[in-house]
Structure 1
Amino acid sequence: MPSPLTFSSQYLPGVTVIAVAGEVDITTAHLLDDYISRTRRHQGDHVVLDLSEVPYLGVSALHVLLHAHDVAYSNGASLHVAALQRGPAHLLSEIEGRLNVHESLEQAIRAALQAAAQPFPVGGGVS
């Protein structure tokens, strides 16, 4: 039986860091989507997803990640995915280039903080 999906978050200037633990599949992907939407303090916040404790990502999780990326991008922000295990990393290789994927959480946070410090929206933002 898969472990339940759990979340925790922390806030940095202009960045929301979300740690996810458990399997993200067709039955739990909506929970991740809801948590990302509820947890961001501001629409323009960059989002870092720490997936180091996620052993499995299903195709439905890809839809959630792409949606979170699109929402962030449309608000002048970015999504950073960090610390993927081997299985999820293989799945994300299918959409390589669409997401900001980092080997470590530290790299992802550093990139998001640098993006948050930029005076102009990263990704085009809404006029």
Structure 2
Amino acid sequence: MSYLLLSHHTLPSGITLIDLTGVLDASTTSQLAACIITARRSRADHLILNLAYVHRLAEAGVNLLVNAAAQHARYGGSVHLARANHGIALMLKVTRAGHTLPLHATIDDALHDIQTATPTACRPDHGRRGTSSRAAPARSASRRQAPIPVNQSP
């Protein structure tokens, strides 16, 4: 049977830290979802999830983390992960969740990243102006247009 122990507190900077111990899978994701709702003051909050004592991360756990990050980003907040073991970090890399969830070696690194981020860094479109949060389909190399030549003065 899977277990997940959770505790949370607000750091002096106003950022919420959630410590996880155990397994994050389909049977425990509802616990973490409830903890995130309880711990945050608003969806614009910045959260750091300390994964130092998470032994296993299953697909349902990855999905919950990605969805939480997307929801917080929509409102100007963010979700950062810290202290994940090698297996957890590999799972995040393989599932490409690292594109949405910043992973930090330490909690201090996560704090620094949040405190030094520009307001556009938390937008779901990664700060690109004039784009929506939905990614446009990538064009193949054969369909790319050649750059327009610039007239050079003699």
Looking at structure 2, the residues matched to 105 and 67 of structure 1 have their Cα atoms a distance apart, in angstroms, of: 21
Aligned position for 1:32: 32
Other-structure match for 1:92: 92
SS at 1:55's partner residue?
A: strand
Tell me the percent identity: 27
User: Post-superposition shift, 1:103?
Assistant: 1.2
Measure how far apart 1:121 and its partner are: 5.8
Q: Whole-Å Cα distance in 2 between the matches of residues 72 and 43 of structure 1?
A: 5
Greater length-normalized contact order (CA 8 Å, ≥ 6 residues apart) = 1
CA drift of 1:44 comes to 1.2
* Gaps in structure 1 of 5+ consecutive residues: none
The equivalent residue for 2:148 is none
Alpha-carbon contact 1:47-1:112 (below 8 Å) kept: no
CA RMSD, 1 decimal: 1.8
Aligned residues, how many? 121
SS for the counterpart of 1:41 is: coil
Q: Which residue does 1:109 correspond to in 2?
A: 111
1-structure distance, mates of 2:87, 2:81: 14
Give the direction of change, closer, same or farther, for the CA distance of 1:45–1:121 in structure 2 (3 Å limit): farther
TM-score by length of 2: 0.71
Matched with 2:61 is: 61
Q: TM-score, normalised by structure 1?
A: 0.84
Structure with greater Cα Rg:
2
Check whether the contact 2:70–2:100 (CA below 8 A) recurs between aligned residues.
no
CA contact (8 A) 1:8 1:20 kept: yes
CA displacement, residues 35-83 of structure 1 (integer Å, 9 cap, x when unaligned): 1122102221101000001010000001110111011101101111001
Query: Which deviates further from its counterpart, 91-100 or 69-78?
Result: 91-100
Maintained 8 Å contact 2:25/2:61: yes
Paired residue type of 1:16: T
- In the alignment, the residues of structure 2 paired with residue 86 and residue 121 of structure 1 have an alpha-carbon distance, to the nearest angstrom, of 30
